[in-house]
Structures are given as structure tokens and as C-alpha cells.
Amino acid sequence: MNMQSKVEQNPSLAANPDWWKGGVIYQIYPRSFQDSNGDGIGDLPGITQRLPYIASLGVDAIWISPFFKSPMKDFGYDVSDYRDVDPMFGTLDDFKELLRAAHSLGLRVMIDLVLSHTSDVHPWFAASRASRDNDKSDWYVWADAQPDGTPPNNWLSIFGGSAWQWDTRREQYYLHNFLSEQPDLNFHSPDVQDALLDVARFWLELGVDGFRLDTINFYFHDAKLRSNPALSAEARNASIAPSVNPYNYQDHLYSKNQPENLAFLERLRALCDDYEGRACLGEVGDAQRGLEIMGEYTSGDNRMHMCYGFEFLEDKPLTATFVKEVFDRLEAVSPEAWACWAFSNHDVERFSSRWNLSATALRTHITLMMCLRGSACLYQGEELGLEEADVAFEDLQDPYGIEFWPEFKGRDGCRTPMVWETQAESAGFGASETWLPVSSEHAAMAVDRQEADPEALLHHYRRAIALRKAHPALSVGETTWMEAKGSVLSMIRKHEGSEILCVTNLSGVAASATLPAGNWVSIADDLGGQAPQRDLEPWGFIVATKKDA
């Protein structure tokens, strides 16, 4: 029985099917956005309540982290029912109302699809582990022990320890790249692929505008189960895992990034293309070859629309040289690749803390992001300049942080509740007892206080987003020139005869820039941009359009 009743798009949204290209997407972590019923946990009606605020930012879409039924071992990234909403977040009708409200405000809605693994209480896994010869026995990655009883190979879990868990029912090991309660699906099975495409179809029929695809490069494993080689000590510095995690000691050649994935991504894209204006955003989790995978996964028009990696989510500060290196590498591996850049998300330390940025530096960073070729993801609260919250060990919820404490404190510090009203209980989030504590430092930076201050960072975000949307050269144009000279990153974006010069001093020290020839006129005065000139203030920037002489 089909219980969906499709939610129609706003006609104005349907008029731009390529909205994703150069679009700005606002990520919502639903547990921490707005609590509507006083249980201390954010929910879907809470998101609906705050949609006018999100629309006021000028973004194109929202991405909502998982809200499916789940035992919440990994806070929704362990799905037990792909086709329903966990009661913690509301009901399927609540989601339909969220969709309707978002579309009426001109916002598209992307949902977070976790296809690489399920919860261990998902009915599929219950059937698979029951025996070695039932119709779902090969839906997960099962393997016999080695002769000495040890796991089939040396693969490691990102969350610590072996990626293999012994199961007494089948007397075999099953693969889990994350928690042992998150068994990996076997994408080598055509039935698994078909079942997951049916899941995507369910939500497309309901009216969602696209998917953020979790750990997209983890879908397939090496069918021969070959062990990963060691990673050199020099290469360990770049990793998607904290330095204390032994996951960094391996080059993950065989546990992810398999070539068979391309055919499945093409099937998924073909499905999405049956529904006009839908978009797929893949998360590429790989520090060694993330840009190469991004290029591969977005090449042509039959794979993913866009992918984002971890290049600008690392601890490494954003320097002019580093940004140019990233774009040079991306150009080398795939000139047509379409990236989606993020400085923060629900898995990493907030970038204001990670890079120890001042208020002035934050303005420069978001202005730069709005000038980069690609799409952009913003994480809830970054528009307020929120820093990483200090969460005491006894308040931790994240199993990742609990495992590697105190050297790595986990992800709870970036997941604390959103702050709406400085003087309200729990800063306007909801109940007094919240699932993670509300930061008092955050409360002082709440939305209501910044709305009342014309100089607040919140308004700078709005102006930077508006600048990007007002100039197609910034949102969809080509980058015809880029130069890194000391702390200064310079580039020219071009689209249909329009040229825009973007010059950024990524340093708290004054610097000099060499401006290309031309009659350049500033278009960023209301953002605090400088007039086109050689001398750049600390964290100074120029955004200027080329006028005919």
C-alpha cells in the first residue's frame, strides 16, 4: 500500500532544475536544531518552525541529517527502517508538512541517505544472520574466520578496532566499517542494489529534492577480501580519522573505493534523473585520493551531480597555497568535476575553533567560500560564528569520542543545540534538559542578539550569499586564473562575458597583491571589501567586476 501522497514542488523551484550547480546548502542536524515538544531533542516540527529563518539566509536548499527509525547507536546513521521517521523526530506526516513548508518558501529539501550500512536490528540483517542459505544470506558482507580463528583480513573500523565482528549464529564474521552495530551491506548482490534504489525511489516519489549520500565511496568492498597495505608514516598526517586512531596506519585500497561502485552510482543517477530538478551530493571519505574520487564520481552527466571531500574539513589551516593546490589537483584529475565545499559539518570541529579564527577572519573565510567554483555547504550555527563547545566527559553521547577520549573528544562539541534567544530557557532550543548541554558561550551569540546588530556575522553571511547569487560568474562560472602569492589568493571567475576578480589575504598580517590589468570596480562594499588596490589589510579581501574602459 502506498501511503506517500507526493508533496508537489513550488513552480518557481521547478523553473531551475540545475539549482544545485553553485547552490548553497544549509545542513541541519535535527537532534540539535529546534525542540518542539519539550523532550530535549530537536525534531521535524521544530525544523519546520525555523524554516523562515533559514530562507532569510538566502540559501537554496537544506540538507537534513538522518531522521529515519533507528536505535540511535550512531544517532541515526544506523538505520532500522529506511521508509519511516523515528518517533523521536516525529512522523512521516510531519516530514510531509516540512516539505510543503520548505517548498512554499523557495527552499529545496535534501535528505541524508545512509546506504553503505544499516543497523544490526534492521529486518534485513536479522534475516541475513539467521542462516547461510536464506534469501538474504548474502545481503551483508560475511566471511569465514582464518584457520586460527582470527578475522578474514586486517581491515579496521573508523570507530576503532577490527572492522570484523564475530557472529555466533552463522559462525562467521561480518564487516562493519563503523560501529559493530552498523553491518555493511553487500553491494555485490544485485538484490541489495535494487532494494536500496527502491528506498531512494520512495523518497523521490514523496517529493524530496535530492540526497546527501553518506560515505559514498564505502559502498563496495574488494570481493577477494585482500588485506590493506600499510600507509607510510609521512602519509598518516592526512586522514579522515583522528591521529590517535590506528585506522590511519592503513592505505585503504581494498576496504573502500572499489571500481564497481561507478556502475551503481550511474543506476542511482538514472533514477534521480527520472524526477526533474533532483540532485545527488556524495560524501567522499578518503584523505589520500579524495579529489581523484570526487572527479571520478562527478565526471560526465551520468554519475553524481556533486561530491564533497574532506580537504577543507581538515585541521590544516586554509592558506592561499593549500587552496590553490586543491584546485590544481582537481583540475588535473577531472577538469569537469563539480565539488561542494564545506568548512564545518556534524563530524568535525567547528572551523572557527579548528583554525582559531577571529571575527574578522571568519568574514573573510565565508566570503572566500562564496567566491570558489563549486557548490557550498553551511553547517547550522556557523553563520553565528559558533565555536566548538566544551562538553564534559560525563555529558558525552558520541561513541567515537568516548572510545578515544581524551586525545580526541569526539563530535559532540559541534553538535550541541542551536541557540535562538540569548535570555530564553536553553537559549530558545526547547526544554531545560537537553540531550547535549547548551553552551553558555553560544547563548551569548544567539540569533535574536545578532538579528538586532547590523554588524553581526549573521548579516555578513546573508550578504555574502546574496553576492554569490547576484553574480552567475561566482556561482557557476569558470575559474580562468588562480594565483597563490604568500598569504594572498587571487582568482578570476568568468561567465558569459562577465569577469569577477577575487583577492583574499588569508592572514592576520597586511600583504600586497598584484592585480591583473583591467578596470576593476568593487562589488563587495557592503561586506567590508576593499577597493581594488595592491595593499591588503589583515584578512582583507577584494571582490570586483571588470568594467569596459
pLDDT for residue 15: 81
Record the pTM: 0.96
pLDDT for residue 548: 78
Residue range 186-194: average pLDDT?
A: 98
- Residues 304 and 415 reside in one and the same domain: yes
Parallel/antiparallel/unpaired status of strands 164-167 and 511-512: unpaired
What CATH number should be reported for the domain holding residue 391? 3.20.20.80
Query: What b/e sequence results for 260-294 when a residue is b if at least 16 CB atoms lie within 10 Å of its CB, and e otherwise?
Result: ebeebbebbbebbeebebbbbbbbbbbbbbbbbbb
Residue 170 included in any domain = no
What is the band of 2 on the pLDDT scale with cuts at 50, 70, 90? very low
What CATH number should be reported for the domain holding residue 530? 2.60.40.1180
pLDDT for residue 107: 98
Chain centre to alpha carbon of residue 6? 26
- Residues 494 and 368 reside in one and the same domain: no
pLDDT, one tens digit per residue, over 154-168 is 999 999 999 999 999
Q: Of 467, 496, 526, which closes a domain?
A: 467
User: Catalytic residue positions?
Assistant: 214, 283
- Residues 392 and 453 reside in one and the same domain: yes
Residue 152 included in any domain = no
Q: Where are the beta strands (DSSP E) in 122-190?
A: 142-143, 164-167, 172-175
- Tell me: pLDDT of 335 over 70: yes
- Residues 427 and 330 reside in one and the same domain: yes
- Residues 196 and 54 reside in one and the same domain: yes
Residue 61 included in any domain = yes
Number of domains in the chain: 2
Q: Of 467, 499, 530, which closes a domain?
A: 467
pLDDT, one tens digit per residue, over 259-271 is 999 999 999 999 9
- Residues 435 and 521 reside in one and the same domain: no
Residue 143 included in any domain = no
Q: Of 467, 486, 507, which closes a domain?
A: 467
Residue 378 included in any domain = yes
pLDDT for residue 287: 82
Residue 536 included in any domain = yes
- Residues 363 and 387 reside in one and the same domain: yes
Residue 237 included in any domain = no
- Residues 490 and 462 reside in one and the same domain: no
Mean confidence (pLDDT) of the chain = 95
pLDDT, one tens digit per residue, over 462-501 is 999 999 999 999 999 999 999 999 999 999 999 999 999 9
- Residues 326 and 432 reside in one and the same domain: yes
pLDDT, one tens digit per residue, over 24-49 is 999 999 999 999 999 999 999 999 99
pLDDT for residue 174: 98
- Tell me: pLDDT of 309 over 90: no
Residue range 303-322: average pLDDT?
A: 94
- Residues 374 and 445 reside in one and the same domain: yes
Three-state DSSP at 341 gives strand
CB 467 within 8 A of CB 523: yes
- Residues 327 and 360 reside in one and the same domain: yes
Residue 234 included in any domain = no
What percentage of residues in the chain have a pLDDT greater than 70?
98
* Residue-number span of the structural domain to which 529 is assigned: 477-547
Instruction: Identify the residue with better confidence: 200 or 333.
Output: 200
Chain centre to alpha carbon of residue 480? 27
pLDDT, one tens digit per residue, over 411-440 is 999 999 999 999 999 999 998 899 999 999
pLDDT for residue 1: 34
pLDDT for residue 296: 95
- Residues 319 and 447 reside in one and the same domain: yes
